[in-house]
């Protein structure tokens, strides 16, 4: 079994899955460097849960090479893990950010299981903490993983307070792929004299 960690090189605030709160500076979620993408919902007279657009992270690379360049077409996928380093400026019942969707995108649509942790609040400041989401069933095909449109999507629920905004922050969306390389079949060469 082999394991490779990839980082996105194309990240957008995608509205194809709905939502009303855009991600600002989505490209900041390309590396674990404390530069963050943010989604901010302003304070409200009557607080209500809002939904972010989807932070869509794609064109994953490892040391400058794409998934298609590093994982052979005949490989067998064992698991795909998205690691999202995130926090919010508050974490509690009165003001929070929570997962709504953490999903894979392939074949032109969000697909596979939504692994969002909809019960727990994103951690509060000051720390950005990593959360792992692992698909070991319902995996894309190797061809879908290697395709140019493969991405990870993260969408959040945001609840501001009457006196303070809620700011959700994502530092990085990393992708770890565990796979078995295809087995080469060798046929003996025979020569007749």
DSSP the chain: -EEEEEEEEEEEEE-TT--SBPPBSGGGGBSSSS--EEEEE---SS---EEB-EEEEEEEEETTEEHHHHS-TT-EEEEEEEEEEEEES--BTTBEEEEEEEEEEETTEEES------SSBPP-SS--EEEEEEESSSPPPHHHHHSTT-EEEEEEEEE--SS--EEEEEEEEEEEEEEEPPPP---------
CB atoms within 10 A of CB 113: 13
Average pLDDT over residues 151-160: 97
pLDDT band at 108 (very low <50, low <70, confident <90, very high): confident
Pairwise CA distance, residues 172 & 170, whole Å: 6
The answer, yes or no, to whether residue 188 has pLDDT greater than 70, is no
Query: Where do the domains of the chain lie, and which CATH numbers do they carry?
Result: 2-180 (2.60.120)
Closest to 132 measured CA to CA, from 102, 106, 96 = 102
The b/e string for 47-60 (b: 16+ C-beta within 10 A; e otherwise) is: beebbbbbbbbbbb
pLDDT at residue 53 in the model: 98
pLDDT band at 185 (very low <50, low <70, confident <90, very high): low
Predicted structure pTM score: 0.92
Sign of CA dihedral 52, 53, 58, 63: negative
The conformational region for residue 28 under phi > 0 = left, psi -120 to 50 = alpha, else beta, is alpha
The answer, yes or no, to whether residue 136 has pLDDT greater than 60, is yes
pLDDT at residue 187 in the model: 62
């Amino acid at each position: 079994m082999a394991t490779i960690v990839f980082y996105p090189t194309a990240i957008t605030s995608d509205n194809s899955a709905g939502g009303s709160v855009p991600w600002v500076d989505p490209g900041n979620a390309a590396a674990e460097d404390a530069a963050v993408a943010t989604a901010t919902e302003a304070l409200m007279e009557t607080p209500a849960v809002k939904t972010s657009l989807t932070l869509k992270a794609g064109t994953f690379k490892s040391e400058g090479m794409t998934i298609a360049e590093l994982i052979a077409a005949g490989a067998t996928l064992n698991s795909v893990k998205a690691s999202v380093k995130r926090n919010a400026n508050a974490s509690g019942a009165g003001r929070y950010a929570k997962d709504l969707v953490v999903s894979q995108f392939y074949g032109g649509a969000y697909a596979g299981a939504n692994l969002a942790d909809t019960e727990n609040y994103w951690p509060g400041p000051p720390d950005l903490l990593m959360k792992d989401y692992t698909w070991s069933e319902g995996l894309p095909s190797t061809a879908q993983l290697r395709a140019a449109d493969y991405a990870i999507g993260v969408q959040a629920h945001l609840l501001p307070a009457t006196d303070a905004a809620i700011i959700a922050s994502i530092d990085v969306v990393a992708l770890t792929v565990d796979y078995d390389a295809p087995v080469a079949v060798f046929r003996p060469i025979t020569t007749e004299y």
